[in-house]
Structure 1
Amino acid sequence: MATSSQYRQLLSDYGSPSLGYTQGTGNSQVPQSKYAELLAESESAMERMQQGMIHAGGLVRECLAETQRNARS
């Protein structure tokens, strides 16, 4: 199994001396492009999550404002 430092190296170094494969412990070889793809998907998901949280915060503010207006009347 690869250590976290090996994964960091994979994610920061797209030019591999072993034709896109990294040698892990044992006989397992994983295409480096898969890690780059997973990283891109993770970043995309994080951006969508942030936008969703911003939108949810706006909805909460609107609900609070409406609740306060209704409480006054």
Structure 2
Amino acid sequence: MPRPHGFAYERRRDGSVALTHRGRAAGVLRGGRAEKFLAEVETGDAQLVMARWTGSYRFGNERQAGNHPRNRSGRTGRR
């Protein structure tokens, strides 16, 4: 799996944290979640932490799942 990239964060005056991915808004964290995020991003791999917190990352099998014949018909998979 390639390393995540293109994430950035900005601390705001009101204590919230704005997350972006490739220049587009990916989320805003407030309060305790913002504090926890900042503590984690300073101690770990910042790009990986931001990818996890925004949910903007995929594993290899999820990328390929859209091409599977079962997923192309528009059905939910239930019969």
- The TM-score with structure 1 as length reference comes to 0.27
The answer to which structure, 1 or 2, has the higher relative contact order (CA under 8 A, 6+ apart) is 2
Decide which structure has the larger Cα Rg and report it: 1
